[in-house]
């Protein structure tokens, strides 16, 4: 090579190496996310995943003690500026509006909503009281409506689009005997997400759903009576539940909170810029294995 040309190539290679070494901005840097039920098992994993990709995260939950604990843990890992908490009962219209307003004051806007707060109860239809029915419908279906409405109002005003992710359930698609209130409310969430995907498309607001199968580890739902009820309906001991779900799945694998968080990260970020109105089943193939 002529001397000048060799020099140019060497110079170019050095510049390229310098660029490679420069820290790259994280994919969610500058974005603000609000995670309902953010102090629970799946919500915490989701918050952690979004924080690790650079988002500022507002954890919203009705359980103030758990919120404080989660905030302390995340502040140690990511720094206190990246995480905020807000007490929010998703069924209380005024509290929902107040929590979203707080998030905007803290971080200047909202780009991502993960609607995840939930409960679960199981009982045969004859024993399902109106109170139990209403509790499932109000925390799940109505709660998802109230937080989405608030996010839509904000995101439309900002004119920057946004991503809304619902944590519904495998039970929103597949029926389950003895849990009709929960299953019906979860089905409503899934359909709400599809309606909102239509409404938000023009404004660049994407709405997608993640359907987990049983996630036993870390979940407060699974430490309560739901555990006993589900074991009884499968005629097994509670200690056998995890193995039972693993064996029932096509991939013979358990689903963990981190698996749900990974799907949420995909849907919250620009990786899924062309997806809306969709469902990701994180179920180790359970949906298919039911039909075999
Ligand atoms: P979890 O109990 O560990 O977390 C749920 C969180 O929601 C809790 O922190 C709780 O305080 C909060 N919450 C409950 N009611 C609330 C209300 N009215 N307002 C605000 N916050 C409220 O349960 P999880 O397993 O992490 O479940 C999270 C979501 O995932 C739920 O919507 C659940 O239905 C769904 N899901 C869970 C599983 C599973 O097997 N764990 C499977 C499918 C779907």
Convert the pLDDT of each residue in 47-93 to its tens digit: 999 999 999 999 999 999 999 999 999 999 999 999 999 999 999 99
In this predicted structure, the answer to whether residue 291 has a pLDDT above a threshold of 70 is: no
Q: Which H or E run includes 60?
A: strand 56-61
Dihedral sign computed on CA atoms, order 108, 113, 161, 151: negative
pTM: 0.94
Atom of ligand 1 nearest to the CA of 218: 3
Closest atom of ligand 1 relative to the 222 alpha carbon:
41
Give the per-residue pLDDT at 289.
Answer: 60
Cα 26 to ligand 1 centroid, rounded to whole Å: 28
Task: Say if CB 33 and CB 59 are below 8 A apart.
Answer: no
Question: Is pLDDT at 290 greater than 60 in this prediction?
Answer: no
Whether residue 260 has its Cβ less than 6 Å from ligand 1: no
Q: How many CB atoms neighbour CB 273 within 10 A?
A: 11
Beta strands in 122-204 (DSSP E): 162-167
Distance, CA 41 to ligand 1 centroid (Å)?
Answer: 7
Complex ipTM tops 0.95: yes
pLDDT given for residue 292 in this prediction: 37
Measured at the CA of 159, the angle between CA 154 and CA 165, to 5 degrees, comes to 55
Active site residues: 182
Which residue owns the Cα nearest ligand 1 atom 36? 169
| Mean pLDDT for the stretch of residues 27-43 | 98
Compute the distance from residue 60 Cα to the ligand 1 centre, in Å: 12
Mutate to test the pocket of ligand 1, among 60, 118, 245 (most ligand atoms within 8 A of CB): 118
Residue with tokens 């045969």, as numbered in its chain: 124
Q: What order do you get walking across the sheet with 162-167 strand by strand? A: 83-87, 56-61, 32-36, 112-115, 162-167, 205-212, 279-282
30 phi, psi to nearest 5 deg? 85, -5
- Is the C-beta atom of 63 inside 6 A of ligand 1? yes
- Are the beta carbons of 28 and 268 closer than 8 angstroms? yes
Residue (of 217, 35, 233, 210) closest to 121 by Cα position? 233
């Amino acid at each position: 090579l002529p001397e000048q040309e060799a020099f140019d190539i060497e110079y170019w290679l050095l510049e390229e190496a310098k660029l490679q070494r420069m820290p790259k901005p994280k994919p969610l840097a500058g974005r603000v996310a609000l995670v309902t039920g953010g102090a629970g098992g799946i919500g915490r994993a989701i918050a952690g995943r979004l924080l690790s990709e650079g988002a500022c995260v507002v954890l919203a939950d009705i359980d103030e003690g758990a919120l404080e604990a989660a905030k302390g843990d995340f502040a140690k890992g990511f720094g206190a500026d990246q995480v905020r908490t807000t007490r929010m009962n998703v069924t209380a219209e005024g509290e929902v509006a107040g929590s979203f307003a707080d998030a905007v004051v803290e971080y200047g806007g909202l780009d991502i909503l993960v609607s995840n707060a939930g409960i679960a109860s199981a009982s045969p239809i004859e024993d399902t009281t109106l109170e139990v029915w209403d509790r499932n419908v109000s925390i799940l279906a109505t709660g998802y409506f109230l937080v989405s409405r608030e996010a839509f109002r904000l995101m439309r005003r900002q004119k920057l689009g946004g991503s809304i992710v619902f944590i519904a359930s495998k039970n929103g698609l597949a029926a389950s005997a003895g849990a009709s209130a929960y299953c019906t409310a979860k089905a409503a969430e899934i359909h709400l997400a599809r309606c909102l995907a239509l409404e938000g498309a023009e404004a660049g607001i994407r709405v997608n759903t993640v359907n987990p199968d049983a996630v036993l580890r870390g979940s407060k739902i699974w430490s309560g009576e739901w555990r006993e009820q589900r074991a009884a309906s499968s005629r097994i001991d509670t200690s056998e539940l995890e193995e039972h779900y693993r064996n029932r799945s096509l991939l013979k694998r358990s689903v963990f909170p981190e698996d749900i968080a990974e799907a949420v990260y995909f849907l919250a970020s620009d990786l899924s810029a062309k997806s809306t109105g969709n469902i990701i089943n994180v179920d180790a193939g359970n949906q298919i294995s039911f039909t075999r």
